[in-house]
Structure 1
Amino acid sequence: MLQKLQQLAIGLHAQGDARELVQSVRRLFIGAGNLARKPAELVQAIKGMAEISALHEAETGSWVDPDVVAAGEGGAFDACDLRHWLALAERAGVSYIPTREILRLEEDEIGLVSGTIAPPPSTPATRRLRASATAIAEAFPDAAPAAAAPLNGEAIHERLFAAMDDVPEGWMVRSNRCGGGELKSLAGLGAIGDRTPEVRFGPTLEVGPGWVRVGNRRQVNCRDMRTIQAAAQGPGFLAFLARPWIEASRYIEAPDPHREGSPFAGKGIWPAEWRAFVENGEVIGVSSYYGWTDAASPETARTALAVRALAQRIVDEALRQRAFPRYPDIELVRSAPWVLAKEELNHKINVVFGRESVSCTLDFLETAAGPVLLEGGPPASPIGGGHPCAFAGVAGKPTIGNAPATVGVAFRTMPHVLVADPSTWDKGDPSGCILSWEEVEALAAADGHGAGAAD
């Protein structure tokens, strides 16, 4: 049953990636084709995109490399880049799952190996778009990129294989900015189990976390849509990292809400993971990562307190070094006065999530040695970023400007909330699910073991 479920999850993920890519290309051509009816509007739209591109390039170009943070120095850095968070954890004395960089691909190399898709067939919209090409070229005479040396596709594909040659069996691979979509799909369905998920589709094809085995050799997976999108949002490159698969000390078996009503309905098993929410240099909340699985108890209350303490140590080290995580979407909104006209949103973006503040999410895994850092990412902000996990629904349905409320400890979602369906994120009664810090401290000491905290 587990193998069938894993194959289903990977297959559906691949189909979803393909559909998303086709639909994105179709929307691009239809939208641009409609604009092409009015060349002046098309030129203005391209100017707007060029301005956004310039802002993005200037912002990401100012970010420091991980070795700068590892040396104890400051500067702005990519909030999504795992390497910076591990460097801060090392300096703060917080345990983490180590990584080893095995491959780096630049933007044009990623584009070459991630696959291509043919444009939609000729339609009135696409013909209008092509007819406007001359006008666009005349409007932007300096925009044409310099001819680049042709890339050697075979050599790059060989690098994908070579990068995996000395990676031990049982390890996973991910980019510096995110884990692959296949792993997320398996984890969401509780279909990973307690060991590295390696899903076989036949005698010569096997899909693992971040890699694909073709015959008797593994290759870094660069066709994952989640990874491609992370590359597009980031500084223009991806570093691929290998890391050992660490077994959790606690697994939670629970009914899977994602499979309810399907032939695969039933229970899943999830590792005990936690997410800490940081705003303006303070850990304000902690949540069970798989919010439909866990429950409040003295033991889980003590773990939540330990996660808060460990996360705060990493944040304090970042503040000491003046190392500030930045998220591209927040920085683009910060430069858009028409978006920030709403006073509350303006305060959140420019004060709570200021350019020289530490706001983020930090994820931890329960292990035999205590919670260890898995990764870090952007904050749960009014315009997106980190997922609120079991806090979903506390602030109502997600909308731009409606910041998630992530204060206290969310042990599990409210009964009416389905994490995967934001339409259910209505406000409700959090009793027994989401507790204040004072309630968590009292619960942690309820069985006589004391509240506890990380040293």
Structure 2
Amino acid sequence: MFSLPQTLVNRSIRALRDRLGNLPEAEFRTEFERGMEAGWQDLMGKAERYVQGQHILEKGGHFSSASCGNWFLIADAAGVERIPGRVVAVISPVMMLAADAALGSGDDVKIEDFLKNYGDQFNAFVNAIQGLGENEMIRYDTAADGRLKAEIALGRSDGTIPEFRGYRLAGHGFKLPEFDERILRTLLENPEDSSPVWAREWLTPRMRTGDRSNAFSYSLNVADVARASDPLNGDAAEAAIRVEESRAEFGDLASNGNLFPCEWRVFVKGGEVVGVGNYYTQVSRARDSRDEIDAAAAALEVKALAESMIEVIRERGAIPHHPQYENPARRNFGKGFDPDGLHFSVDFMEVEDLRVPFGRRLVLVDAGVAHLRAPAFGVHPVSFGAERDPEGVAFGLGDVRSFEVVEEIVSRGVFSQPDTPSMET
């Protein structure tokens, strides 16, 4: 499957038709096919030559930046700790799309036809889910389940494994998973024909008190509910649409606490770490002198970990890529955009560990495409917000500091064991 920049494809087709319109039919057909092939190679040729798995480290070349499995290999080569996981199934985007259409229909004939065509692959997937360990989660190669992200974004009472573990099971005479739109979309956008499904160990994250109303998640926002019910609010109609969309996807999910994981997102552009952002906008880091040192040290640590991954990528001649990087509009933005440059993002989680300074380790959660603008594409800018490029360190919404300032904070701080629980107010 390939993520088609459809607007560009349509524009190329129209341009070819205009240019060749006066030719005789046979000559038109030959020239049109030749032009379409050249256009396809320009837009998607790199994606068709993507390397996967160990070939990334052994041969280098372009690889899909949307695949977590590719990044896990790079992290291992760089000596970066990641969440332990194992591949339990391999699925195809086509199978997932067909499953969503057939299983969602409730039509026994469609379900039977689907199982006839994809039964072996699908049953292996279902059996893998049913064989999860007590402390394991399902993680698709291109995205985590939207409902899981929503539950965490709403706030929790502790950092234990959630009841929802990244999949749903429903009836129809046998157990069938249901898929959310986000998983389907990211699978179809990833230019690879097959995609692993991971069973990953749940590591207890450091948790901090926050305000869920500051979330950027897909979850039901209490403020939107209030806006939708206020007849004097000019945004009521839009808020109502957001509420209905959220309810259709997740139901009325409720918060069971006001604690959120401590995570960081690192932004890499042009082979350099340009920004580090506090992942959960519900939490403001560096709120006091003690957490300021802790958070500043964490930001610089994840920056260094990402730089070690950059070094491996350069040494192996590998190029993280996505077809959307080829959009010509990006090359006219700012100083220009090199689609063959090193552009990606990587997320880290603070894991409770009282044996080390600050009582936490930094563990890679996942990595993926870059955050790009003009036109917008890629990962969310998290605490940097939507109005600025990720540059420096964002400890919270509206609190962005340069790397030089953060380094100064750490240089005057003292590394010590935590003297209070990490789930502090």
Is TM-score (shorter-chain normalized) higher than 0.5?
yes
1:277 aligns with 2:261: no
Deviation at 1:91, TM superposition (A): 0.8
Aligned to 1:384: 377
The 5 Å alignment of 1:39-58 reads 58=45
The 5 Å alignment of 1:305-344 reads 305-331=300-326, 333=327, 336=328, 339=329, 343-344=332-333
Give the secondary-structure state (helix, strand or coil) at the position aligned to 1:362: strand
Which of 347, 358, 365 is residue 374 of structure 1 equivalent to?
365
* Structure 1 residues 316 and 219: CA distance shift in structure 2, 3 A: farther
Aligned to 2:405: 439
1:159 aligns with 2:115: no
Deviation at 1:255, TM superposition (A): 1.7
What is the CA–CA distance in structure 2 between the aligned matches of 1:279 and 1:218, rounded to whole Å?
47
Aligned to 2:133: 168
Per-residue CA shift, 1:213-252, capped at 9, x if unaligned? 458x99684522111111211123322111111111x201
What is the CA–CA distance in structure 1 between the aligned matches of 2:255 and 2:161, rounded to whole Å?
23
What is the CA–CA distance in structure 2 between the aligned matches of 1:220 and 1:284, rounded to whole Å?
43
What is the CA–CA distance in structure 2 between the aligned matches of 1:230 and 1:376, rounded to whole Å?
14
What is the CA–CA distance in structure 2 between the aligned matches of 1:319 and 1:292, rounded to whole Å?
35
Equivalenced residues, count: 330
* Structure 1 residues 218 and 103: CA distance shift in structure 2, 3 A: farther
Tell me if the contact between 2:138 and 2:197 (Cα under 8 Å) persists in the aligned partners.
Answer: yes
What is the CA–CA distance in structure 2 between the aligned matches of 1:408 and 1:233, rounded to whole Å?
29
Tell me if the contact between 1:274 and 1:363 (Cα under 8 Å) persists in the aligned partners.
Answer: yes
1:363 aligns with 2:347: yes
- Could you state the TM-score of these two structures normalised by the residue count of structure 2? 0.69
Per-residue CA shift, 1:153-197, capped at 9, x if unaligned? 544442232122432123111211111111122222224841222
* Structure 1 residues 360 and 226: CA distance shift in structure 2, 3 A: same
Give the secondary-structure state (helix, strand or coil) at the position aligned to 1:365: strand
| Cα-Cα RMSD | 3.4
* Structure 1 residues 260 and 108: CA distance shift in structure 2, 3 A: closer
Tell me if the contact between 1:298 and 1:447 (Cα under 8 Å) persists in the aligned partners.
Answer: yes
What is the CA–CA distance in structure 2 between the aligned matches of 1:246 and 1:52, rounded to whole Å?
46
Aligned to 2:100: 114
1:223 aligns with 2:179: yes
Deviation at 1:294, TM superposition (A): 2.5
Which of 67, 78, 93 is residue 64 of structure 2 equivalent to?
78
Which of 243, 246, 255 is residue 200 of structure 2 equivalent to?
243
What is the CA–CA distance in structure 2 between the aligned matches of 1:222 and 1:88, rounded to whole Å?
31
Q: Partner letter of residue 349 of structure 1?
A: F
What is the CA–CA distance in structure 1 between the aligned matches of 2:176 and 2:199, rounded to whole Å?
10
Give the secondary-structure state (helix, strand or coil) at the position aligned to 1:270: strand
* Structure 1 residues 222 and 67: CA distance shift in structure 2, 3 A: farther
Name the stretch that deviates more: 230-239 or 282-291.
230-239
Tell me if the contact between 2:93 and 2:184 (Cα under 8 Å) persists in the aligned partners.
Answer: no
Per-residue CA shift, 1:373-402, capped at 9, x if unaligned? 11111111123112111111452xxxxxxx
Tell me if the contact between 1:210 and 1:221 (Cα under 8 Å) persists in the aligned partners.
Answer: no
Q: What are structure 1's unaligned runs of at least 5 residues?
A: 1-27, 29-39, 119-148, 199-207, 396-404, 415-432, 451-455
* Structure 1 residues 295 and 62: CA distance shift in structure 2, 3 A: same
What is the CA–CA distance in structure 1 between the aligned matches of 2:294 and 2:175, rounded to whole Å?
41
Deviation at 1:209, TM superposition (A): 2.7
Deviation at 1:278, TM superposition (A): 0.7
1:348 aligns with 2:304: no
Q: Partner letter of residue 286 of structure 1?
A: V
Aligned to 2:392: 408
* Structure 1 residues 222 and 68: CA distance shift in structure 2, 3 A: farther
Give the secondary-structure state (helix, strand or coil) at the position aligned to 2:283: coil
Which of 191, 203, 210 is residue 254 of structure 1 equivalent to?
210
What is the CA–CA distance in structure 2 between the aligned matches of 1:94 and 1:154, rounded to whole Å?
38
Tell me if the contact between 1:82 and 1:375 (Cα under 8 Å) persists in the aligned partners.
Answer: yes
Give the secondary-structure state (helix, strand or coil) at the position aligned to 2:45: helix
The 5 Å alignment of 1:414-429 reads 414=398
Per-residue CA shift, 1:40-65, capped at 9, x if unaligned? 99xx9xx9999987766533221111
Deviation at 1:316, TM superposition (A): 0.9
Give the secondary-structure state (helix, strand or coil) at the position aligned to 1:241: strand
1:286 aligns with 2:273: no
What is the CA–CA distance in structure 1 between the aligned matches of 2:200 and 2:410, rounded to whole Å?
33
The 5 Å alignment of 1:169-184 reads 169-184=134-149
What is the CA–CA distance in structure 2 between the aligned matches of 1:52 and 1:366, rounded to whole Å?
45
What is the CA–CA distance in structure 2 between the aligned matches of 1:265 and 1:378, rounded to whole Å?
30
- Could you state the TM-score of these two structures normalised by the residue count of structure 1? 0.65
Percent of paired sites with the same residue: 23
What is the CA–CA distance in structure 2 between the aligned matches of 1:65 and 1:188, rounded to whole Å?
32
Give the secondary-structure state (helix, strand or coil) at the position aligned to 1:211: coil
Aligned to 1:138: none
Q: What are structure 2's unaligned runs of at least 5 residues?
A: 1-5, 7-16, 22-32, 106-113, 216-220, 227-253, 287-291, 354-359, 417-425
* Structure 1 residues 154 and 91: CA distance shift in structure 2, 3 A: closer
Per-residue CA shift, 1:63-115, capped at 9, x if unaligned? 1111213x444111111111111111111111111221111122432232122
What is the CA–CA distance in structure 1 between the aligned matches of 2:178 and 2:43, rounded to whole Å?
23
